[in-house]
Amino acid sequence: MNSSPLSFIRNFAQVLLPLVLFCSLPHILNNLTVTMAVRRNYRSSLVATIINKISEEEELSNLIKSGVWYAVKNLKNISDEGIVGKFEQLSLDAETDMFIKRSIERSDWLFTQLYHNFAKAVLSWFYTQTDINAILNRGTMFVLSRDQFIQMTDNFTGEKLIDLGAGDGRPTMAMFSSFEEVYATETSAPMRKILSANKIKVLEIEKWQNSGPYDMISMLNLLDRASTPITILNTAKQALKPQGLLLIALVLPFKPYVEASPTHRPTELMDIKGKTEEEQLVSAVQAIQAQGFRQVKWSKLPYLCEGDLSQSVYHLTDYIMVFKHQD
């Protein structure tokens, strides 16, 4: 049995902390020796948070109805005609809509969200934000639905898929049934446990290519969070079958951030330039193709994340791109 301090803390957070908080909350609220002004400020802050959240949900609803998540307004302004011709239009579908509705529902669980806020404050002393999300079973990400995956890859199937930086595996599941064997890499130990529980084979980050070659390699919002994105692309080229696909999702504007690094900066820089999303898209495609790939398709969609007490659904602008080996 693992009796390390970190193991004890993890078990406490997962099993005992919810019970302790639930039992202690009335006592805490009734017996804290704070001034009435502080109490009023706390209540006012909570009320303001809820009011702002209601307003945010109205804005979210308008955003969904407008279709702006999937629209490229300045498609004609993209300088590379070859890229323009490979655009694939996506749209909101039932699976994406279900994820949004589920996120809104969960964000309204007041006591659950209060518990999460309390637990995050405690666990942040010992864990990264990614670890905390796994321990608390929160913050699930959504990149593309099953139908969107089929559309972007022309219903591609194969023997082996590996999803690099897979998180809790929720985005991986859109691809899962198209392959006989599904592998993943992930730096977070709590996330790796979730992946294994979902029958995804977790490989060591330094040795994942040894289990190849792969029919598909996916990097869903990895390149802007990895310390060595160029090395990862080079390794993927070697580990991908000649007719295999490389699936990349990239948040634009491009803002690299490495969670595990003290400086939060990558050691390798992708040469992505431009002031607009369209300019950065062209630059990103060129940077990836410079590593030996050829773009097949691309599209725009939202990168969604389960919300909290402050916001129902977090969202960023994502560009999904499909590549093959250069001919």
Give the residues across from 319 on adjacent strands.
250, 300
Asked if residue 229 has pLDDT above 90, the reply is: yes
Structure tokens at 213: 């070659």
More confident residue, 256 or 58: 256
pLDDT attached to residue 61? 76
Asked if residue 245 has pLDDT above 90, the reply is: yes
Banded pLDDT at 45 (limits 50, 70, 90): low
Per residue in 153-163, pLDDT (tens digit) is 999 999 999 99
* CA distance readout (Å), 311 to 115, 139, 184, 209, 323: 16, 12, 30, 39, 34
More confident residue, 230 or 16: 230
Per residue in 171-226, pLDDT (tens digit) is 999 999 999 999 999 999 999 999 999 999 999 999 999 998 999 999 999 999 99
- Supply the CATH classification number for the domain 139-325: 3.40.50.150
Asked if residue 17 has pLDDT above 70, the reply is: no
Banded pLDDT at 69 (limits 50, 70, 90): very high
More confident residue, 57 or 253: 253
**Mean per-residue pLDDT, 49-72:** 75
Residue 211 is given by DSSP the state: G
Could you tell me the pTM of the whole model? Answer: 0.82
Banded pLDDT at 262 (limits 50, 70, 90): confident
pLDDT attached to residue 260? 82
Structure tokens at 79: 């300088």
Banded pLDDT at 37 (limits 50, 70, 90): very low
Asked if residue 8 has pLDDT above 70, the reply is: no
**Mean per-residue pLDDT, 234-240:** 97
Residue 87 is given by DSSP the state: B
Packing angle of the helix pair 94-107, 36-66 (nearest 10 deg) = 170
Per residue in 94-150, pLDDT (tens digit) is 999 999 999 988 888 878 888 888 888 888 898 888 888 888 888 899 999 999 999
Give the residues across from 323 on adjacent strands.
246, 295
Per residue in 87-105, pLDDT (tens digit) is 999 999 999 999 999 998 8
Mean pLDDT for the chain overall: 85
**Residue 81, number of CB atoms within 10 A of its CB:** 8
Q: Which residues of 82-102 are buried (b: 16+ CB within 10 A; e: fewer)?
A: ebbebeeebebeeebeebbee
